[in-house]
Amino acid sequence: MFSHVVIFWTDPGQPGAAEELIEAAERYLRPIPGIVHFHVGRMVPSDRPVVEQSYQVGLNVVFRDKAAHDAYQVHPAHVEFVEKVFKRVCKRVLVYDFA
């Protein structure tokens, strides 16, 4: 298994940016071949001080292996998501990849 976790900080000057990002991830990213598990959603507030709460959207994608992840990164739908949506509505991103 190969896990790809992405944390997004959306542009506060763009109302609805988080919803747009989530909808676009569902449309562009979920159908890409090689995905074993796909989950995208809004940050959930917590009273626990160890929980990061400054971001707006999280994405968790699990692939069967690193090769499937690498193919996902260059897939035309992923590239389109990055160019058409991510670059426009996000101010910051943090990625965690682990196997």
pLDDT in tens, 31-80: 999 999 999 999 999 999 999 999 999 999 999 999 999 999 999 999 99
- The CA angle 64-70-73, to the nearest 5 degrees, is 115
Between CA 66 and CA 68 the distance in angstroms is: 5
pLDDT at 70: 98
Between CA 6 and CA 8 the distance in angstroms is: 6
Q: What is the pTM of this model?
A: 0.94
Burial profile 9-27: b = 16 or more Cβ within 10 angstroms, e = fewer: bbeeeeeebbebbbebbee
pLDDT at 9: 98
CATH 3.40.50.1000 fits 2-44+53-98, yes or no: no
Between CA 51 and CA 48 the distance in angstroms is: 6
pLDDT at 81: 98
pLDDT at 44: 97
pLDDT at 78: 98
Between CA 59 and CA 38 the distance in angstroms is: 8
Q: Are β-strands 90-98 and 57-63 bridged in parallel, bridged antiparallel, or unpaired?
A: unpaired
